[in-house]
Amino acid sequence: MSDGYKTIKGIASAKLVSKKSRFLAEASAVDNRDKVKSFVADVKNRIPQATHYCYAYSIGNEDDKLEYASDAGEPTHSAGPPILNAIHGNELSNIIIVVARYYGGIKLGIGGLIRSYGACARACLENATLETIIKYKELHVDVPYTEIGTVVTLCKRMGGKVKTINYEPNPNILIQIKERQLENIQIQLQSIGITPRY
């Protein structure tokens, strides 16, 4: 399990012209399907009356990855998959890219569409500001006074953070730990007789 994932900050955009067809791409970070739908609707408002609004997204990572690619009326696999390939090529997650196309009167053919949609999506990501999001979990640890120092030291040694320490009525520590260290810290705490709560 990795510590986190790469995504983008804000909205990135790019433009491309191919045989008089204009392609306009926008990308944004998303973490659920509702935000996907909302972003596609926003792009349609910002880029009105395009011939097609093709998109792809990737949400989650590893075992819980959710991906989708839409050709939006273009020939099958000529638009959505090349956009999704741009996401894969940059190893990004929790992201959507929408590429709007204004038809210029000259047919591009399936190969031309694949190249154009893919190139516009890649250019959009080249213009993006990337960031790495670290995945943390929070644990509440009920702890005897004598073990407060032990728990704090253990948390810091595993790259975690002590959020709060409450001493009354009984000592309780709220810690933030990287997801991949979750099982390890639970084992360590249980070895000194402490069972953490989520």
Domains assigned to the chain: 4-133 (3.30.230.30), 135-191 (3.30.70.240)
Provide the CB-side half-sphere exposure for 178 (13 A, CA). 16
pLDDT at residue 53, as a whole number: 98
Contact status, residue 116 vs residue 16, Cβ threshold 8 Å: yes
- Residue 56, beta-bridge partner list: 69, 97
- Residue 142, beta-bridge partner list: 172
- Residue 79, beta-bridge partner list: none
What radius of gyration, in Å, describes the C-alpha atoms of the chain? Answer: 23
Confidence of residue 2 (pLDDT cuts 50, 70, 90): low
Contact status, residue 194 vs residue 142, Cβ threshold 8 Å: yes
For the chain, the distance separating the N- and C-terminal CA atoms, rounded to the nearest angstrom, is 20
- Higher-pLDDT residue of 146, 118: 118
pLDDT tens sequence across 55-109? 999 998 767 889 999 999 999 999 999 999 999 999 999 999 999 999 999 999 9
Instruction: Tell me if residue 138 falls in helix, strand or coil.
Output: strand
Containing 125, the helix (H) or strand (E) segment is: helix 109-126
Provide the CB-side half-sphere exposure for 67 (13 A, CA). 16
In this model, does residue 1 exceed pLDDT 60? no
Mean of the per-residue pLDDT values of the chain: 91
pTM listed for this prediction: 0.77
Contact status, residue 189 vs residue 154, Cβ threshold 8 Å: yes
